Amino acid sequence: MIRVAARPAATALSAHAECHTAHIETPEERTRRIWRSADAVAFDVDSTVCQDEAIDELANYLGVGEAVANVTRQAMNGNARFRHALQARLEVMRPTYDQLEAYANETKPKVTFVPLEGTSIR
């Protein structure tokens, strides 16, 4: 199950601790360790890694897809700045924590790449 949570805090070893460690972790190893222990890792991947736009998909899930699409069209026509358009779309949706969590657990992403061997996408 995916839980919507705060961003995890990064940790670092002190220089003294690194000197007394048998194996110094490479940046790649550290990244893999952190990602494997995380409940979720999120990136801004709309229309790049994922085929769809998350805000549009969430709006459809909440039953306000057309209203959000209207705000998006106005912004694309230059009638609103990005920040104001995003705020307007979120005000139309007004997603609750429970709705976000349900959406994350019930909706499978449409990815455009093939996962590396030994990895999975949930």
Catalytic residues: 44, 46
Question: How is the chain split among helix, strand and coil, in percent rounded to 5?
Answer: 50, 0, 50
Place of tokens 């769809």: 52
For residue 55, CA distances in Å to 1, 37, 58, 73, 111 come to 21, 27, 5, 14, 16
Instruction: For residue 46, list its beta bridge partners.
Output: 50
Look at the alpha carbons of 88, 3, 118, 30 in this order and tell me if their dihedral is positive or negative. Answer: positive
